[in-house]
Amino acid sequence: MNGVLNFIISIATTPALLVGLIAMLGLILQKKPASAVIQGTVKTFAGFLVLVGGAGILSNSLTPFASMFQYAFHVNGIVPTNEGVVALALVKYGTPTALIMLVGMVVNILLARFTRFKYIFLTGQAMLYVSCMAAVILASAGMGQSWQTVLLGGLFEGTLLSVTPTLCQPFMRKITGTDNVAMGHTGNIGYALSGWIGKVFGNSDPEKSTEKLNIPKSLGFLRDSTVSISLLMSVVYLLLAIAAGPQFVEAKLSNGTNYIIFAIVQAGTFAAGFVVVLQGVRMILAEIVPAFQGIAQKLVPNSKPALDVPIVFPYAPNAVLIGFFVSFLTGALSMFAMLALGTTVIIPGVVGHFFCGAAAGIYGNSTGGRRGAVLGSFVNGLLISWLPLFIIPALGSFGAGASATFADTDYLIPGIIMGNISHMGAAALITLIVGFTALVIIASAVLNARDKAKSK
């Protein structure tokens, strides 16, 4: 039994394999010839591996960035990192986490099939992390690792991951120019908020887009995203390397390589990772969208794949950089404010601020141009900098003793709500989760009735 469960969980938490199988199913349902099924499946699988590999290169190049920042500014505290906190939690909550994830996937598919929320969430690691958070909170509420924990956790996860892509979809249509793909990440609440902020406070003139920056002809080479990212990140890495000092960089990070050379290579590695991500996105979109039509036609009508956050990076490379730097600067200023206030210090997680800040910048830019990108990523940066302070007590005894905590808005906001309700007892938490799912189903029915009445 454990072997079968482990096999299923391994598939579900390996996005490349999961999405490859989804593509294969879609092509089979369309009765494509065997050659087309094999080609589409392998290219989708390989495309996701390229995407994951590029994201890994980006993350690895940001690791010394974080180390130099912490050393240069002499700060210690809690780093919001989903991977770190989940790795700690799985030691104790591994089994309920895995089972919650399986139930959540079923709930997500059922809601996509029978409600208007037609998004199949396909980011495996995000599903695992949400499941883990639900397991920790439910267990801390006194429910232990029981079947009730698994059922309620799955209900919560499946409903949340059906609703949050819906919040982002109006902005995804503007970003991508189509309605074929959705956002399947755990920063969706923040991205939707960024898009709304851009709409209200930004400038929607297309000429004010981050991608329409006025660059003199003599600097035309900066229009190449690989060149501009390499040069900009080189400046940032060089400043941090100088601030941290050659002794620290060469002794702790570069294995003796000159600290200036090390900084330049890391900046180039970051740019290379970005290029790899873009290639992976192109491969995936070329295969998964046509293949998904089979699932949409046969199993879950009108459904859309909700894919990981780098899926939007090719649409606004300048917004990626603006969003990252604004978000990270917001996190750094927030950290210094926490030091002054004497609170627990949340050290800005570079990876979280990059992926979430970049996406927030893209969403803000889609509705409000450069101003929207800055304001949207600033607000998102505030959320992922300050909300971790409030989720730590929501995680019970585990949160109090952990050196890491959750980083993205879709963990932080629902987690804080669930954690605070759990202090009122298990019955209150059960009511919250069941009520959340019921509310989503009722909202779907009401909106469908409204649309039907309008069409008459």
Torsion (CA) 430, 432, 438, 440 in degrees, nearest 10: -140
CB 121 within 8 A of CB 69: no
pLDDT at residue 110, rounded to an integer? 93
CA distance 177 to 199: 17
DSSP 179-239: SS-EE-STTHHHHHHHHHHHHHHS---GGGSGGG----GGGGGGGSHHHHHHHHHHHHHHH
CA distance 173 to 51: 22
Question: 113-133: string of b/e by CB count within 10 Å (b at 16+)?
Answer: eebbbbbbbbbbbbbbbbbbb
Torsion (CA) 440, 443, 444, 447 in degrees, nearest 10: -160
Domain limits for position 426: 2-455
CA distance 311 to 283: 11
pLDDT at residue 361, rounded to an integer? 96
Strand (E) or helix (H) holding 393: helix 388-394
Q: What angle is formed at CA 190 by the lines to CA 189 and CA 192, rounded to 5 degrees?
A: 65
Is pLDDT larger for residue 311 or for residue 88? 311
Amino acid at position 353, single letter: H
- Over residues 279-333, the pLDDT tens digits come to 887 787 777 777 777 776 678 888 898 988 889 988 998 898 899 989 999 998 9
Q: Write down the mean pLDDT value for the chain.
A: 86
CB 69 within 8 A of CB 349: no
Amino acid at position 112, single letter: A
Residues of the chain with pLDDT > 90, as a percent, come to: 36
- Over residues 13-67, the pLDDT tens digits come to 676 787 788 788 888 888 889 998 899 889 888 887 887 788 788 778 878 887 8
132 three-state secondary structure = helix
- Over residues 401-414, the pLDDT tens digits come to 556 678 899 999 99
CB-based contacts of 240-243 (< 8 A; 24+ apart in sequence): 240/65, 240/68, 240/69, 240/72, 241/68, 243/68, 243/72
Residue 435 has pLDDT above 90, yes or no: yes
Contacts with 428 (C-beta within 8 Å, 6 or more apart), sequence order: 421, 422
> How many domains does one find in the chain?
1
User: What one-character DSSP code corresponds to residue 81?
Assistant: -
The phi, psi pair for 255, rounded to 5°, reads 55, 40
Is pLDDT larger for residue 321 or for residue 218? 321
Lowest mean pLDDT among 9-18, 175-184, 226-235, 371-380: 9-18
> Encoding tokens for residue 456?
């008459």
pLDDT at residue 330, rounded to an integer? 96
Q: Which of 323, 274, 309 is nearest to 56 (CA)?
A: 274
Residue 169 has pLDDT above 70, yes or no: yes
